[in-house]
Amino acid sequence: MEQATASESDTTGAEAHSNTLAPVIHTAIGKGKAVAAWRLPHTNEAHVAVSLQDSFTPTPPTLENSPFGFLFCPFQESEPAPNLFIKADLYISQATGKLTAAIDAPAPEVADFMQALELGSTTPQRSWHTSNAGVQQQSDLHFQDAVAAAVAAIKEEQMEKVVLSRNSILPLPLHLDLAAVFEQMCQKHSRAFVSVVSVPGVGTWAGASPEILVSINEQQVFHTVALAGTQPATESVADAIWRQKEIEEQAMVERYILLCFKSLRLREYTEIGPRTVVAGNLMHLRTDFKVDLKEVDFPSLGTDMLRLLHPTSAVCGLPKAPALQFILEHEGYDRSYYSGFLGPVNSKAGTHLFVNLRCMQLLKDKAIIYAGAGITAESDPVKEWMETQHKMVAMQRILQQF
């Protein structure tokens, strides 16, 4: 990634135009540019960044010295699924409605994009960047067999926990529109990190994630969470009753975060939880960990914790090495960007990276919906399959709106 200090404040309004977000998304797709739209949890302001660069691959991902942009990284980096950085050469927020160009954005490309935006998009519905990779689907029986094999391996003490996932392929509605998908997710998932990412040659993903991976806000407070355990949401979180299986699953994620802090010799942190939280149609157990970087001299904590955490025990397992090996040998398909991480870097609101959960990939005429479940010694293959079904509901409901 190039070294730069560009941020949202480093913009010029000389070529600013008043726009809604949808025309910017449509124009980016029509011009073959990478685009990311997002909205942070518990906020009303949506954002869109467009990259005018030819390359989107930072190696390795860094946070502290990055220009303002959007990071999009897979579960396991590979040639078809590289780490991506969508530099915010062009940026618009819902609050201002003005599209601004970064100071170092290439001027000819900026002018060309602005002219296309003024003329209006001719991009039809069902238009977005699609992946060059083939489609893989895992059968229900394969998933349940993998769960049974995982339980056996855990009882043989090969590992403590492993997270297994599966996908489901659905036909796309005829009148689907990418900007409208983003708007629907914002309306229906106020507590989640909502995003749409579309990159030439890589594809298009949409999701509403409940899980913070690494966050550093404008007050310089570092934040990460342990999120695990799943059950259908009730009318009140006070009515939630958690089984020992979910309690222990969540405790494993907590212990891993604490081990990461210990490896960095970090002792000054606050811990709140576990508590029950609602995410869409589901409830989870969550513990929050925070570090005030104004009081703790640890300027690289964000990047260091990102390196240690990903893939987290909430999407991989414990210990990480045997769990990851089990996933690669038994899951039966490529997760790609599912259970990777994504989010804005060095925005005015800070850096906020989330695990890519409750998500789907949009192909030309199909959607691939992804979900996973934490497997322990007490897991039942049918119940774990049902948990993944519950988790897929969020994206299924979005598609049903069209």
Give residue-wise pLDDT tens across range 6-22: 344 444 433 333 348 99
- pLDDT, mean of residues 231-244: 84
pLDDT at 122 over 70: no
Report the alpha-carbon distance of residue 399 to residue 188 in Å, rounded.
12
Give residue-wise pLDDT tens across range 341-357: 999 999 999 999 999 99
In terms of DSSP H, where are the helices of 5-82? 21-30
Q: What is the structure's pLDDT at 233?
A: 85
pLDDT at 247 over 60: yes
pLDDT band at 258 (very low <50, low <70, confident <90, very high): very high
Q: What is the structure's pLDDT at 125?
A: 60
Residue 333 tokens, joined: 């398909």
Give residue-wise pLDDT tens across range 146-180: 999 999 999 999 999 999 999 999 999 988 999 99
Phi and psi torsions of 250, nearest 5°: -70, -40
pLDDT at 133 over 80: no
Q: How many CB atoms lie within 10 A of CB 61?
A: 22
Report the alpha-carbon distance of residue 111 to residue 122 in Å, rounded.
18
CB < 8 Å & 24+ apart, contacts of 26-30: 26/121, 26/123, 26/127, 26/178, 26/179, 27/113, 27/116, 27/117, 27/121, 27/123, 28/113, 28/198, 29/123, 29/127, 29/128, 29/129, 29/178, 29/198, 30/116, 30/121, 30/122, 30/123, 30/127
pLDDT at 126 over 70: no
Per cent of the chain over pLDDT 70 is 93
The CATH label, of 3.10.20.30, 3.40.50.300, 3.10.20.80, 3.60.120.10, for the domain at 140-175+220-400 is 3.60.120.10
- pLDDT, mean of residues 269-277: 94
Report the alpha-carbon distance of residue 215 to residue 376 in Å, rounded.
29
Q: What is the structure's pLDDT at 5?
A: 35
Per-domain residue ranges for the chain? 140-175+220-400
For strand 90-93 and strand 84-87, is the pairing parallel, antiparallel, or unpaired? unpaired
For strand 350-355 and strand 203-209, is the pairing parallel, antiparallel, or unpaired? unpaired
Per the CB < 8 A criterion, the answer to whether 56 and 34 are in contact is: yes
Which of 213, 208, 298, 210 has the alpha carbon at shortest distance from 253? 213
Q: What is the structure's pLDDT at 19?
A: 46
Per the CB < 8 A criterion, the answer to whether 196 and 206 are in contact is: yes
pLDDT band at 59 (very low <50, low <70, confident <90, very high): low
Arithmetic mean of pLDDT over the chain: 90
Coil, strand or helix at 251: helix
pLDDT band at 80 (very low <50, low <70, confident <90, very high): confident
pTM for the structure as a whole: 0.92
- pLDDT, mean of residues 138-151: 94
- pLDDT, mean of residues 282-287: 90
Q: How many CB atoms lie within 10 A of CB 171?
A: 9
DSSP 235: S
Q: What is the structure's pLDDT at 104?
A: 95
